[in-house]
Structure 1
Amino acid sequence: MIEIIIADDQELIRESLNILLSANKEFKVIDLVENGKEVIQSVAKRQPDIILMDIRMPVIDGVECTRIIKEKYSDIHIILLTTFDDDEYIYNSLKYGADGYLLKEVSPKELTDAIITVSKGGSIIHPSVTTKAINLFSELANQSAVNIHPGDDGVKNLSDKEWQVIEKVSLGLSNKEIAQELHFSEGTIRNYLSIILDKLQLRDRTQLAIWYLQGKNRKSGNE
């Protein structure tokens, strides 16, 4: 069962999400909170699998809360559910390690599918902001302050299939989409991704995408 904390400063939204998710036997909503400070307090007590969180909240907003949670609890998955597709929100959310970025216009099925995907180690970005996300990956890759340098041995040990998975990740594809393109199961792609991150000693698929795009940009610059 996937244990979930819901965070939104609007009571109607919190309760509506609670009703929706509690109807699914795979989910257990373990707390409802209204700001980032309460999220941090709740996480310390309850250790959820997923935090479903709004971005604009009082006291501590969703982006800053993501940074704080991921620094201390890297294995807890965070999905930001918001009405905003502003570049700065997307940029900072990805930078701090958010596993999902969805707009509140998603359907109930899209939301429940996203939670299941993220709980299994995948990531979800709302289709309307995917292009922005890819552009942001490229911008991050061009910034020397976030240069990522995995060990040479790890890079040399990557197989051709692993390179294909990395390339698809850099395009913002989900595990399901990668599986469809490479004709594998989602489970196989999750295993590939886990092995790749271990070889390169990277934290998550965001770092992986940035590292790959940095390499492409360096090659382009030398041509």
Structure 2
Amino acid sequence: MTDDGGPIRVLLVDDQDLIRAGFRMILSVEDDIEVIGEVADGREAIEATIRDEPDVVLMDVQMPGMDGIEATREIVARTCEPKVVILTTFDSDEYLFESLQAGASGFLLKNSDPDDLVSAIRSIADGYALLAPEVTQRVITRFARTPGQVVRDADRMAELTERERDVLVLMARGLSNAEIAAELVLGEATVKTHVSRILMKLDVRDRVKAVVAAYESGLVAPQGG
């Protein structure tokens, strides 16, 4: 459910009718999720996003005309919402990093379990961000090869309080708000406030990009890196 108690409004973007029908079937049985539209290319996705204001866009990568990564970049630049989840059959580092750079809030493979897709939509709509487990380590490895790449992130990291840095380190380990609360002996509402302040101070949209900034700045070192 969204903050106003309504269902999570989802836009499906894929050039294959069968794929869209499959996603619609999976999501149609969920009481808290509503598919509000389907489009077949990136340009239509931008138009539908502006017109229909979905909460989450499930975005294919390879489509005729404008591809999903360019469409994601346009959507993020034009609107504060919605959040975009890249869905692709291509387990490619190039797609992964381009998707994150374009502003996507999540990246999943189309062969993911249907339950994982549903959970991802709920998490994204609730303000979280995620990567498919099989690609998370590649993100960490990528930043291990380029430590301290973004000076801006290091400067902004210095603005965090000690407690906010503690929370960010645990976020980078993949812990949920509830798990962070238990680890730091804090209330979950307090953790949520810390997370919001971290995103604001780092000037990022979601948790994935906050974690990326933590690795780039050197606050968090990849395991074995």
TM-score by shorter chain over 0.5 = yes
Please, what TM-score do these two structures have when normalized by structure 1? 0.83
Partner of 2:176: 175
Q: Does 1:148 align with 2:153?
A: yes
Q: 1:194 aligns with which of 193, 196, 220?
A: 196
Kept in 1, the 8 Å contact 2:11–2:54? The answer is yes
Alpha-carbon distance between aligned partners in 2 of 1:215 and 1:123, rounded to the nearest angstrom? 20
Alpha-carbon distance between aligned partners in 2 of 1:218 and 1:126, rounded to the nearest angstrom? 20
Taking only the aligned residue pairs, the percentage that are identical comes to: 32
Q: 1:103 aligns with which of 104, 109, 123?
A: 109
Please, what TM-score do these two structures have when normalized by structure 2? 0.82
Partner of 1:44: 50
Partner of 1:16: 22
Distance 1:188 1:153, change over 3 A: same
Kept in 2, the 8 Å contact 1:150–1:202? The answer is no
Kept in 2, the 8 Å contact 1:147–1:214? The answer is no
Equivalent runs, 1:30-179 vs 2, <5 Å:
30-139=36-145, 142-144=148-150, 147-148=152-153, 150-151=155-156, 154-155=159-160, 158-160=161-163, 162-171=164-173, 173=174, 175=176, 178-179=179-180
What is the CA deviation profile of residues 139-161 of structure 1, one whole-angstrom value per residue up to 9, with x for unaligned ones?
565435x7435558733xx142x
Q: Let me know the Cα RMSD of the aligned residues.
A: 2.8
| Count of residues in Structure 1 that have an aligned counterpart in Structure 2 | 214
SS of the residue corresponding to residue 37 of structure 1 reads helix
Distance 1:194 1:7, change over 3 A: same
Letter in 1 for 2:19: I
Alpha-carbon distance between aligned partners in 2 of 1:141 and 1:149, rounded to the nearest angstrom? 11
What is the CA deviation profile of residues 91-115 of structure 1, one whole-angstrom value per residue up to 9, with x for unaligned ones?
1111122111111111111111110
Alpha-carbon distance between aligned partners in 2 of 1:184 and 1:118, rounded to the nearest angstrom? 23
Q: C-alpha displacement at 1:8, in angstroms? A: 0.7
Alpha-carbon distance between aligned partners in 1 of 2:50 and 2:170, rounded to the nearest angstrom? 35
Q: Structure 1: which 5+ runs fail to align?
A: none
What is the CA deviation profile of residues 104-132 of structure 1, one whole-angstrom value per residue up to 9, with x for unaligned ones?
11111111111001101111211111111
Identify the range of structure 1 (184-193 vs 121-130) with the bigger mean alpha-carbon deviation: 184-193
Kept in 1, the 8 Å contact 2:12–2:57? The answer is yes
